Amino acid sequence: MDRFLSCDWGTSSFRLRLVDADSLRVIAEEKSSTGIAETFQQWQQTASSREQFYAAVINRHVAAMETQLNISLAKIPVILSGMASSSIGMKELPYKTLPFQLDGSDLSVQTAGNMIIISGATTGQDVMRGEETKIVGCAALLPDTHREQLLILPGTHAKHVTIRGGQAKDFRTFMTGEFFELLSARSVLTASVKGDGNFNEQASRRAFEAGVEAGGSVNLLHAAFLVRTNDVLKKMPPQENYFYLSGLLIGAELREAQAGAPVYLAGGPQHLPLYTAACETLHIAVEGRIDADEALVRGQHIVWTHLQR
């Protein structure tokens, strides 16, 4: 096969990409807000097979892509990462217990027709689904996976992954993105922040850096209330306060990474500028930055290649 379909199915979103297998160039893309959670709820209202119901959702997106491109995509492999292998996914698969090989050769994988489902990974105390595939893709872009290094994947549930000896040895999850959503939208801090500012403005950057410094050194439960006092005492307008809160939480996360192995960041355009700036503020040397979407597609291709051998 010279092409494959890359499916990234998260809790609240769905993305399908048609990928050229040689260059890993994305040829076409379909997106939806119908994530695994909503799909699971819809399936519970039916009497159909769970796998068949989820496959039908995927095939509707494939059909839309066929119409868009005016080609047939019949029998092309669909490689699924993310929540597709979870308890509310297409088929629940057991986690791969760490360590796992960075070439993806020992990840838990199952096939259902032309659909290939990649399972998550666990340390025994922590879990991930989807990031394991990105880690494999990132590792293929690192200059040396045998020395110890820290791979940071920002997001709703950020992951700090320890790489050593060609394996993913350990990881820790930080609820940075989810805490930001809760505090900025559903707490007493909501009225004190506004997300319509510009990070590239000097004042916003200074507010973010102040938050990072506080998060890296001050008790977070106390520092979070400073977002409120910044507003009440007119120390900071809501647009800048938004970035202060963001910096505060990212700084609290990154205090765990301030000493030790070299750091690589793997994220998208929303997170990479923030994490890069936060690392600079905390004097954490970042050796490289990797696009998370590219890492996912590359990781899926690597796992698929192993299955064909």
pLDDT in tens, 8-31: 999 999 999 999 999 999 999 999
**Measuring CA to CA, which residue among 211, 215, 134 is closest to residue 171?**
134
Q: What is the pLDDT of residue 86?
A: 96
Whether 259 has a pLDDT exceeding 80, the answer reads no
Q: What is the pLDDT of residue 258?
A: 67
Q: What is the pLDDT of residue 232?
A: 96
* Mean pLDDT, rounded, for 236-261: 92
Whether 115 has a pLDDT exceeding 80, the answer reads yes
β-strand pairing of 158-164 with 149-153:
antiparallel
* Mean pLDDT, rounded, for 293-304: 97
Q: What is the pLDDT of residue 112?
A: 84
Q: What is the pLDDT of residue 146?
A: 93
Mean pLDDT of the chain: 95
Alpha-carbon gap, residue 224 to 213, rounded angstroms:
13
Alpha-carbon gap, residue 121 to 126, rounded angstroms:
8
Whether 161 has a pLDDT exceeding 90, the answer reads yes
**Measuring CA to CA, which residue among 130, 138, 186, 195 is closest to residue 156?**
130
Amino acid at 26: V
Whether 66 has a pLDDT exceeding 90, the answer reads yes
* Mean pLDDT, rounded, for 229-254: 97
Residues in CB range of 237: below 8 A, 6 or more apart: none
Alpha-carbon gap, residue 62 to 30, rounded angstroms:
8
Q: What is the pLDDT of residue 257?
A: 86
* Mean pLDDT, rounded, for 1-9: 93
Whether 283 has a pLDDT exceeding 70, the answer reads yes
- The order of strands in the sheet holding 115-118 is 26-32, 14-20, 3-9, 78-82, 115-118, 109-112
CB pairs under 8 A, 24+ apart, for 126-130?
Answer: 126/171, 126/172, 126/173, 127/95, 127/173, 128/159, 128/171, 128/173, 129/81, 129/82, 129/83, 129/85, 129/86, 130/8, 130/10, 130/81, 130/82, 130/83, 130/296
pLDDT-derived band at 308 (thresholds 50, 70, 90) equals: confident
* Mean pLDDT, rounded, for 189-214: 97
The distance from CA 248 to its chain's CA centroid, rounded to whole angstroms, is 20
Whether 260 has a pLDDT exceeding 90, the answer reads no
Tell me whether the omega of the peptide bond preceding residue 143 falls within 30 degrees of 0, making it cis: no
